[in-house]
């Protein structure tokens, strides 16, 4: 059995028993406050863990300055050394000024490399941003690389292998020759001297780099790029130090992305492109294959009949998932993807047994390994759920000791948070739609006021886990419905492609049908339903109010799109200059330069159909939004004014596409709470 020792790294962690709550509501501040977050890395033997954390107590306090977002002492990384054998901690850097640290890796049990990231105005030049090597006793500290600006980007080393057989060296990728493309170097961790061992891919300026896969020695294997309307897989040949385009595909056609591998065999996710050049029932979902790049052959390793196993959804946007590579050994540990909860496939029986043991200790929680020692007998794991922002534990498998380290947002009483559950229903055209429903804690779950909360994107998806917006709404007594309507990623090609030019149409029908499903099942009160979404979710909010005006009692449009032609102007600015997504967006959203698409664009733009709106609207926007410009909100307000429609207006002057600041987020919660209380309760 487990022995559980509550050994805190930071003595300032607040005890939950010291918190005082209103009997009715969790204070909105508790959802708006940023929690301290700590990144951890374990030494090869497992004796030590480095912890990078904010140089402050983990407390809930709102920074009132709208331009600062968070407190000064929230910025920065304090480097702490934790001894797993005796629980002692040693502060290696203060985390303030030029002593702020990010990105720590172990070279040996005695030496680390880390990057300094100065805070506030302490760094007078970019020279203060650097990669360092240091022994854990503070000796032999040496600047290994100074970050610099190259072609409009920051050039900095990225560790690709610790080279365990060469303790004085690591392999790094550095983009100091071409800002967007990195080359590979063997670097001495004591002197900083380096020798180039491999070139980066020969991509042109208009091609976007989406990722590189390295071999166990830290040198490149393959890369993924996007050029105009074409996905490209580049293959590296070590004997000639050259790259070649290995495979190309168009968006919404079968393809595959490499995850890991060796020169002769790759682990890839996607479709077996030798069988079909189009999507069908057989290859609708991305699957896991062992791929031979010389023979161009696929050997199926794993598939899920309902979900993409990582890889590109519909040959376009990447689904959640990927390979987990051990930093110390560069071995493939697992492959993860997202069903309705995360799924992780382990390739080592002992690691699987450890994971099974920990999941047994934390039922109904997501258990995720954070860092291991070399033989993986010791591990730090995160434990989380919809009602748990995150707890972190150290597990010593040999001695069967589980030690509590720290928790996120300790001021939140987990028992007062509301559970999120998976739901499934059938849309009117027969498509199965999955999503999530959060019922307020201590509720009977019947005839509830409900908030429909569609995600942004739209080519992303909602996932299971703690969400402060959802929990805030649930804490005020609202059920919260999050549908993964068509166009969402991770559910296969048809689910994705069937959303082409369906803004306000079948995409919106999927949301509407989910609302009726919850009404018919007695969960939602049909007279007390509001819709509240951001970005594309803001569009869905306005489409709901416009095209189903009797369904919603109110709507909150948060940084939302209101006109598809105006959206295309925005994407022209943001996409054309990068040379990717331009053609894809027009295939999915409609092309205003094509006269045949203009009737669709006019018909599905809420701004042009605003006369149909019956319910009050809260318009929320950030004045600095570069993605959905403030002009969307202004045009909507002007149109509602001219029509005599009821609306409220709220713009934060220093925020952009979604609010980052604690005070502005708290302001938003206050506006939302008052607005919903007025129109639903």
Q: What's the confidence (pLDDT) of residue 548?
A: 98
Q: pTM of the entire structure?
A: 0.92
Nearest 5°: the CA angle 45, 50, 51 is 145
Tell me: pLDDT of 581 over 90: no
- Calculate mean pLDDT across residues 307-311: 93
Nearest 5°: the CA angle 304, 307, 308 is 95
Q: What's the confidence (pLDDT) of residue 12?
A: 31
- Are the CB atoms for 454 and 485 separated by under 8 Å? yes
pLDDT band at 586, cuts 50/70/90? confident
- Calculate mean pLDDT across residues 565-571: 78
**604 CA to centre of own chain:** 29
- Calculate mean pLDDT across residues 97-125: 83
Q: What's the confidence (pLDDT) of residue 125?
A: 63
What does the longest C-alpha to C-alpha distance in the chain come to? 74
**Residue appearing with tokens 């794991």:** 381
- Are the CB atoms for 65 and 663 separated by under 8 Å? yes
- Calculate mean pLDDT across residues 29-53: 94
**Residues 532, 479: Cα–Cα separation, whole Å:** 12
β-sheet bridge partners, residue 580? 228
Q: Computed over its alpha carbons, how large is the radius of gyration of the chain?
A: 26
Q: What's the confidence (pLDDT) of residue 13?
A: 28
Strand ranges for 564-656 from DSSP E: 617-622, 647-652
- Are the CB atoms for 663 and 63 separated by under 8 Å? yes
Q: What's the confidence (pLDDT) of residue 82?
A: 94
Residue pLDDT, tens place only, 288-302: 999 999 999 999 999
Nearest to 424 by CA among 318, 528, 521: 521
Q: Over pLDDT 70: what percentage of the chain?
A: 93
| DSSP one-letter code for 566 | H
Tell me: pLDDT of 582 over 60: yes
pLDDT band at 644, cuts 50/70/90? very high
- Are the CB atoms for 338 and 321 separated by under 8 Å? yes
- Calculate mean pLDDT across residues 469-476: 97
Residue pLDDT, tens place only, 328-352: 676 788 889 999 999 999 988 999 9
Cα torsion for 428, 434, 435, 440, to the nearest 10°? 80
Strand ranges for 73-127 from DSSP E: 78-83, 89-93, 101-106, 111-116
Q: CA quadruple 614, 615, 616, 617: dihedral positive or negative? A: negative
Q: What's the confidence (pLDDT) of residue 17?
A: 30
Tell me: pLDDT of 464 over 80: yes
Kindly report the backbone phi and psi dihedral angles of residue 359, in degrees, each rounded to the nearest multiple of 5, phi listed first. -65, -30
| Three state DSSP letters for 20-85 | CCCCCCCCCHHHHCCCCCCEEEECCCCCEEEEEECCCCCCCCCCCCCCCCCCHHHCCCEEEEEECC
Tell me: pLDDT of 6 over 50: no
- Are the CB atoms for 311 and 254 separated by under 8 Å? no
Tell me: pLDDT of 454 over 50: yes
Q: What's the confidence (pLDDT) of residue 152?
A: 79
Q: What's the confidence (pLDDT) of residue 19?
A: 34
What totals of helices (H) and strands (E) does the chain contain, helices first? 11, 40
Going by C-beta distance under 8 Å and a sequence separation of 6 or more, which residues neighbour residue 391?
382, 383, 384, 404, 406, 407, 408
β-sheet bridge partners, residue 426? 432
Residue pLDDT, tens place only, 601-630: 999 999 999 999 999 999 999 999 988 999
User: Average model confidence (pLDDT) for the chain?
Assistant: 90
Residue pLDDT, tens place only, 535-566: 999 999 999 999 999 999 999 999 999 998 88
Q: What's the confidence (pLDDT) of residue 333?
A: 85
Tell me: pLDDT of 11 over 50: no
Tell me which of 317-326, 415-424, 482-491 is least confident: 317-326
Going by C-beta distance under 8 Å and a sequence separation of 6 or more, which residues neighbour residue 624?
653, 654, 655, 656
Going by C-beta distance under 8 Å and a sequence separation of 6 or more, which residues neighbour residue 73?
54, 55, 56, 96
The helix (H) or strand (E) run that includes residue 321 is strand 321-325
* Complete domains list, the chain, with CATH: 418-680 (3.40.50.1820)
pLDDT band at 326, cuts 50/70/90? confident
Tell me: pLDDT of 594 over 90: no
pLDDT band at 208, cuts 50/70/90? confident
**Residues 497, 491: Cα–Cα separation, whole Å:** 11
Residue pLDDT, tens place only, 391-400: 999 999 999 9
**Residues 451, 470: Cα–Cα separation, whole Å:** 9
Give me 114's structure tokens.
């880390």
- Calculate mean pLDDT across residues 485-493: 97
What is the per-residue DSSP string for 467-480?
-HHHHHHHHTT-EE
Q: What's the confidence (pLDDT) of residue 493?
A: 96
């Amino acid at each position: 059995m487990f022995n559980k020792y509550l050994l805190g790294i930071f003595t300032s962690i607040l005890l939950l028993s010291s918190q005082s709550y209103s009997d009715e509501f969790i204070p909105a501040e508790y959802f708006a406050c940023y929690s301290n977050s700590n990144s951890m890395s374990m030494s090869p033997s497992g004796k030590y863990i480095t912890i990078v954390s904010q140089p402050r107590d983990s407390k809930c306090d709102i920074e009132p300055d709208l331009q600062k977002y968070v407190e000064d002492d929230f910025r920065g990384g304090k480097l702490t050394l934790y001894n797993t054998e005796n629980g002692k901690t040693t502060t290696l850097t203060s985390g303030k000024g030029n002593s702020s640290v990010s990105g720590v890796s172990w070279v040996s049990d005695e030496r680390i490399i880390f990057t300094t990231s100065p805070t506030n105005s302490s760094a007078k030049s970019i020279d203060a941003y650097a990669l360092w090597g240091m022994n854990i006793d503070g000796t032999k500290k040496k600047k290994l690389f100074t970050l610099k600006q190259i072609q409009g980007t920051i050039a900095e080393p990225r560790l690709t292998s610790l080279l365990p057989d060469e303790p004085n060296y690591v392999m790094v990728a550095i983009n100091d020759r071409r800002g967007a493309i990195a080359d590979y170097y063997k670097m001495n961790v004591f002197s900083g001297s380096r020798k180039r061992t491999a070139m980066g891919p020969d991509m042109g300026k208009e091609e976007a780099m989406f990722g590189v896969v390295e071999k166990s020695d830290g040198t490149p294997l393959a890369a993924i790029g996007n050029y105009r309307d074409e996905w490209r897989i580049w293959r590296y040949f070590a004997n000639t130090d050259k790259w070649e385009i290995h495979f190309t595909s168009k968006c919404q056609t079968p393809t595959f992305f490499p995850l890991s591998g060796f020169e002769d065999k790759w682990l890839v996710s996607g479709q077996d492109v030798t069988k079909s050049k189009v999507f069908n029932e057989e290859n609708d979902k991305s699957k896991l294959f062992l791929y031979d790049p010389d023979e161009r052959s696929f050997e199926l390793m794993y598939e899920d009949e309902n979900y993409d196993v990582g890889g590109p959804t519909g040959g376009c946007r990447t689904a959640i998932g990927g390979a987990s590579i051990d930093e110390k050994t560069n071995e493939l540990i697992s492959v993860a993807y997202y069903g309705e909860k995360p799924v992780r496939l382990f390739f080592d029986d002992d690691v699987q047994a450890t994971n099974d043991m920990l999941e047994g200790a934390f039922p109904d929680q997501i258990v995720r390994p954070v860092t291991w020692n070399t033989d993986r007998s010791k591990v730090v794991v995160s434990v989380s759920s919809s009602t748990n922002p995150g707890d972190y534990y150290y597990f010593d498998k040999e001695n069967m000791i589980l030690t509590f380290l720290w928790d996120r947002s300790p001021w939140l009483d987990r028992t007062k948070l509301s559970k999120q559950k998976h739901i499934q229903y059938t849309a009117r055209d027969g498509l199965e739609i999955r999503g999530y429903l959060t019922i307020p804690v201590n509720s009977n779950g019947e005839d509830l006021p409900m908030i429909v909360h569609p995600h942004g994107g739209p080519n992303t998806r909602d996932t299971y886990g703690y969400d402060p917006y959802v929990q805030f709404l649930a804490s005020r007594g609202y059920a919260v419905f999050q549908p993964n309507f068509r166009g969402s990623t991770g559910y296969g090609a048809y689910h994705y492609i069937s959303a082409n030019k369906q803004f306000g149409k079948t995409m919106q029908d999927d949301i509407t049908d989910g609302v009726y499903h919850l009404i018919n099942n007695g969960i939602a009160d049909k007279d007390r339903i509001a819709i509240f979404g951001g970005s594309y979710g803001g569009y869905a909010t306005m489409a709901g109010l416009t095209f189903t005006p009797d369904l919603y009692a109110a709507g909150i449009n948060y940084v939302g799109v209101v006109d598809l032609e105006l959206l295309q102007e925005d994407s022209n600015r943001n996409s054309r200059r990068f040379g990717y997504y331009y053609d894809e967006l027009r295939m999915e959203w409609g092309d205003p330069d094509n006269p045949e698409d203009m009737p669709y664009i006019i018909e599905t733009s809420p701004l042009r159909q605003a006369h149909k709106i019956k319910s009050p609207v809260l318009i929320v926007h950030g004045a600095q939004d570069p993605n959905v410009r403030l002009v969307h909100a202004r045009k909507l307000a002007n149109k509602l004014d001219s029509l005599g429609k009821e609306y409220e207006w709220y713009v934060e002057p220093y925020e952009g596409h979604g609010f980052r600041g604690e005070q502005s987020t708290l302001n938003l919660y206050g506006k939302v709470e008052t607005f919903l209380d007025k129109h639903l309760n």
